Amino acid sequence: MSGVLDGQVALVTGATSGIGLGIAQRLSAEGAAVCIVSRDGARSRATAEALVQAGGRAVGLAADVRSVDEARQAVDTCVETLGGLDILVANAGIGIIGSVAEADPADWRAMMDTNYLGTAIVTQAALRPMLAQGRGDIVAIASAGGTKGYPDWSGYCATKWAVVGFMDCLAQEVTERGIRVTTLCPGGVDTPFWDALNEDINRQGTAGRAALMQPADIAETVMLQLRLPRNVLVKRTLLFPTSEWH
Ligand SMILES: NC(=O)c1ccc[n+]([C@@H]2O[C@H](COP(=O)([O-])OP(=O)(O)OC[C@H]3O[C@@H](n4cnc5c(N)ncnc54)[C@H](OP(=O)(O)O)[C@@H]3O)[C@@H](O)[C@H]2O)c1
């Protein structure tokens, strides 16, 4: 493998499925060594092995981004086994929908724990090696739902607004220390997220699903940032399938 990310190491959370998998595959194809993180260690290892079979360098780990200890351990293992950490893609997330009147507050808490706190926790863990080396790229996968509200998505949107706000603050804290922070806010993407959703929306095989963006499209957007000169930052990207507009 050789590419624009030769010699760099990336850690991608939620890299066994959907958007995270698409980004991990692209970063590997561009030459980065990739640390695959999900809660399912066997699936993380199988995903990493597929990247190795394709000619890349990768390791697969089990870590739950909601756990401070597990997130720190994942970063430490990445640094030890792959030789550093240059790029963090904080992507792991879940979605549960319902009207405010009828939603279970436990679902709001579960989404906040994974989507917001999990992103904040793994980002803090990644900052340690990045600040020490004075260089890094942090890519947060938020959502178009982090820029507007959608009826029945209140709990989910709140977590994504939280990610956008967190990253806005962080970007200003670390920019002069060589770390670029960019937040991606995609509309609908063709991933298993929709099959796991507790409402019948964009299921596999529907016209709605077919119209969505592909994980490779989000990976291309990540590469737009990573290819730019070090003094240039895309602060936030809002992107949609052409069937969707807000
Ligand atoms: N699909 C869309 O239309 C869309 C649009 C905008 C934004 N997004 C966002 O994009 C991100 C990825 O979504 P996706 O559509 O690719 O979903 P997906 O296909 O369901 O993949 C989710 C990934 O996150 C992992 N994960 C979930 N909870 C985790 C935890 N606590 N710790 C570590 N890993 C965890 C999952 O693995 P395990 O369950 O095995 O841990 C899986 O690898 C999410 O943040 C989502 O909100 C999605």
What does pLDDT average to in each consecutive run of 10 residues of the chain (246 residues)?
89 98 98 98 98 98 98 98 98 98 98 98 98 98 97 98 98 98 98 97 96 98 97 97 86
- Structural domain boundaries, residue 180: 9-186+214-239
Ligand 1 binding pocket includes 94 (Cβ within 6 Å): yes
Ligand 1 centroid from CA 19, angstroms: 7
Beta-carbon count within 10 A of 55 CB: 11
Residue 150 appears among annotated catalytic residues:
no
Query: What pLDDT sits at residue 244?
Result: 85
Residue identifier of the C-alpha nearest atom 32 of ligand 1: 64
Query: What pLDDT sits at residue 19?
Result: 99
State the CATH number of the domain containing residue 20.
3.40.50.720
Asked whether residue 72 is domain-assigned, the answer is yes
Asked whether residue 18 is domain-assigned, the answer is yes
| Ligand 1 atom nearest residue 118's Cα | 31
Residue identifier of the C-alpha nearest atom 19 of ligand 1: 18
Q: What are φ and ψ of residue 206, in 5° steps?
A: -90, 160
Query: What pLDDT sits at residue 2?
Result: 63
How many independent structural domains does the chain possess? 1
Asked whether residue 16 is domain-assigned, the answer is yes
Asked whether residue 58 is domain-assigned, the answer is yes
Asked whether residue 193 is domain-assigned, the answer is no
**CB of 108 closer than 8 Å to CB of 98:** no
CA–CA separation, 61 and 129 (whole Å): 18
Query: What pLDDT sits at residue 246?
Result: 74
CA–CA separation, 174 and 32 (whole Å): 23
Asked whether residue 15 is domain-assigned, the answer is yes
Asked whether residue 203 is domain-assigned, the answer is no
- The pTM of this model reads 0.98
- Exactly one of 153, 156, 161, 194 is catalytic; which is it? 156
Asked whether residue 74 is domain-assigned, the answer is yes
Phi-psi group of 205: left, alpha or beta (phi > 0 → left; psi -120 to 50 → alpha; rest → beta): left
